Chains A and B, each alone.
Chain A
């Protein structure tokens, strides 16, 4: 059973370009979470999705950021018109059930975005 897959592992973008990060959850998991980690800091929640639905986007910046989890295919985190402050590690996690009921989240290896 493959773990959570993220690609690319490293992504370099110039200011103003778009960044597209992909996450394939573990088999059988229908809940996907995205987190952002700035250097020397802990992870901060961005968005929680189920198939075709955004459940909680309270951690997403209001502009330039969007996320989707289509019926088929991976979850996508899209950052438009990237700025240097977007440079960070972006982690995806999946869970078979709502984590509030006591199930752990399984994390992918992360995508390290560098904006030049």
Chain B
């Protein structure tokens, strides 16, 4: 079954605020990735966190991973209107997986100027 369920499904904040999105998954993983998709466009890779890592930073992005709870969170600090997009987490399904990514339904983020 599909894993990588994001929460919340939609989030609306003011520019300058922080945005937190959560992702839960069901099976073991080797890594978990976060992607951004602007409306009607392709996916842009944001960050990859391996199963032996707990936290990773990239600019205004902070990702955490809790393998015991099978969950991850993406924090965007000091949000900008340009951050408005859909955000997806994707897992690789763990050992034995052929490399396909399993995506969640995504969180739609709206940042109001």
Contact = CB atoms under 8 A, between A and B. Distances in A.
Interface in B66-113: 88, 90, 92-95, 97-106
A93 B92 CA distance: 14
Interface in A65-111: 91, 93, 95, 98-102, 104-110
Interface string B1-38: 01010000000000000000000000000110101000
B54 interface: no
Interface bracket on B = 20 to 34
A19 to B, nearest CB: 19
Interface bracket on A = 20 to 34
B98 A48 contact: yes
Contact of A108 (B35, B42, B93, B98): B42
A42 B98 contact: no
Contacts of B50: 102
A41 interface: yes
A48 B100 contact: yes
Interface of B: 2, 4, 30-31, 33, 35, 40-45, 48, 50, 88, 90, 92-95, 97-106
5 contacts: A31-B99, A35-B101, A44-B2, A100-B92, A100-B94
Given A33-B99, A35-B103, 13 more contacts: A42-B2, A44-B2, A44-B103, A48-B100, A55-B98, A59-B100, A98-B98, A100-B97, A102-B31, A104-B48, A107-B35, A110-B41, A110-B42
